[in-house]
Structure 1
């Protein structure tokens, strides 16, 4: 992925409790896996389904936050992860001001994830 190919929006999958914390506190420091790894894991639109299927398969009441990457500046690093694909990783707390929209996780009849508008 070249610099020009990187999208301006990434997506963070959150539990209801995590979304509520983000909305109440105005920022989100990360899920347990984020805290353990030292950054907040996010996905591009093409990566969200794989992330949900691999890491959230048995969980209910999940939500997706659309995140404006430009608002996060240099705190976002594109790093190789699953299958060598580059994923956006946030090396800071996620501020509510960078979240452009959020919605419950919903899939269409083919299993494709419906993403929140941004």
Structure 2
């Protein structure tokens, strides 16, 4: 009897798989979930993450420093400020310049990360 190798990627992964997919730690995945940056489902006691949710997370938060909890909170505030003032394209492709509230400098939408 032949064994069939399953090369299909799973649609959902547990926290460890999400951490590996995003090349980060399980603790960071938990922080992203806690601050609602990353969607998650619940399966028993465990959280599960859809691969498309992980891709959306990477796209939405690219360029932000999410290295610790205080920087995550700052990134959320910065992103909310940009959205409130119309400086995020929200997927429309429109690129507007934005003024950094901390330094009062103009930046193009393409260089959204500070110091980029």
Structure with greater helix share of residues: 2
Task: Sort the TM-score into its range (normalised by shorter chain).
Answer: under 0.3
Which gives a bigger RCO, structure 1 or 2 (Cα 8 Å, sep 6+)?
1
TM-score norm. by structure 1 comes to: 0.25
TM-score norm. by structure 2 comes to: 0.26
Q: Which has the larger radius of gyration?
A: 2
